[in-house]
Amino acid sequence: MTRSNPTRIAVALLAAGALLSSAGCGLSGGDSGDAKQSARTGEVSGRITFRTLQLKPAFTAYVQGVIDAFEKQYPQAEVVWEDVPGDGYNEKLVADAQAGALPDVVNLSTDSFQLLGDRGMLADVAELDEALAKEYVPGAWQQFKLPGRGDSVYAYPWYVTPEILTYNRELFEKAGLDPDRPPTSVEQFFDCAERIAAASGGRYSAFMADPKGRLPGDWQKMGIPILSEKQDRFTFDTDKAVEWVERMKDLYAKGAMPKESLLKSDDINQLYGSGKIVFGPGSPGFVKDIKQNAPQIYAKTQVAGAVTGQLGHIGIYAQSLGIRKDTAHLDAAAEFAQWVTNGPNQVEFSRKATIYPSNAQGLADPFFSDKGDGKDAETLARAVGAEQLKTAALDANTPVQWTNQVGDAVVREMQKAIQGEQDPRTAVRKAQEAANKLLAAAAEK
């Protein structure tokens, strides 16, 4: 994350929508980015609020158990837990910030972390404990830094989900491909898809077209520069990006992707589970879903490390716990966030859901390294994902400048080119022009 400050503020405003349009220089109301960070007192006491995102009722017993154990350890502290739905979560955070009502400890994704962190709403947790970094895997810890803020980190990494590769071993072999040598670059992935399309006779496809889901990740992995060095304009109009569009267009014409997947989001789980597509979603949770709902296909499912390409990094979906900067009970809030994200608690959570610890001690638990006999896809997926997380550096996640509006504008041009309605070079040029207009408009707000 190397975004410049003016652009970073502008795109966060755009992502949050109209709620923020009147607060370009800081949020109004009781909570302000100008607030001083609270100081530690050495006393873990007081009543703190803890907000999570859509964990009830599935994980009520687990979370309440963590809270109860903390309160037993620190009897002068009280934790009030509130769980909210996912819809409109960022908007609710903004409204609470404007009203001075942010929780003391709040569940944040990378998007919502940036939304609040850019405005100085979150405590610097690295400052609270200088030795804290070593407790978390590097990729997760790096997620919650902000450009221009040095080594400051503005949230405790919580649970993470890494990118992996899943595919139908039987269909892979039918195309004359070695299932034990899966693709490791986007270009190799496309080569495999071409072989699969030639062998399938239209009976199944290789992968979903889904340009919105593939970009900008594919381009990043191909070494295409998404943004300028100053992070103030898009720069993906390159020969390599044109090459990507040309390959997608050719593969689409050859039947490597379901035709309908170019313009709308099909249910990939259903298609993979019925043997109609070779490559499944790059998520360990998907493997568990196939095991439950399509056992015959699950038996043919192979798992491997994610396609990394020139980038050499995997994508990481991360959740974190932020601390309200001006909380009245900093010691209780900080100790509780560390408690929730410690090794044992993260391992226990991971046994109940298809997630991984960001905590290095937790990730070292044998539960995540056991590959069994190497044949069970769910067990293997867990081990493969964990191994990648141990060494993952900064991830291939979407830059914050690539807003939904930017993505939609780029995808429109890609769809036209893939369908043959305009040439690939024109599509990439027009996509970059549209993206930069949106970026400039956001910066003016």
Ordered per-residue pLDDT tens for the chain, 445 residues: 333 333 333 333 333 332 333 333 333 344 445 567 777 878 999 999 999 999 999 999 999 999 999 999 999 999 999 999 988 888 888 889 888 899 999 999 877 887 888 788 999 999 988 788 889 887 788 888 886 788 899 999 999 888 899 999 999 999 999 999 999 999 999 999 999 999 999 999 999 999 998 999 899 999 999 999 888 899 999 999 999 999 999 999 999 999 999 987 668 889 999 999 999 988 888 898 999 999 999 999 999 998 988 767 777 788 999 999 999 999 999 999 999 999 999 999 999 998 999 998 898 899 998 888 888 999 999 999 888 887 665 455 677 788 889 999 999 999 999 999 999 999 999 999 999 999 998 777 6
Task: Decide the pairing of beta strands 301-305 and 356-357.
Answer: unpaired
Per DSSP, helices labelled H in 58-210 are 60-73, 89-98, 110-117, 125-128, 138-142, 169-174, 186-200
In the numeric block, which tokens belong to residue 222? 């191909």
Q: What is the DSSP letter of 134?
A: G
Rounded distance, CA 9 to CA 442, Å?
9
Is residue 54 within 8 A of residue 86, CB to CB? The reply is yes
Q: Please give the full DSSP string across 174-208, using - where no structure is assigned.
A: HTT--TTS---SHHHHHHHHHHHHHHHTTS-BSS-
In the numeric block, which tokens belong to residue 332? 């209780």
Rounded distance, CA 96 to CA 93, Å?
5
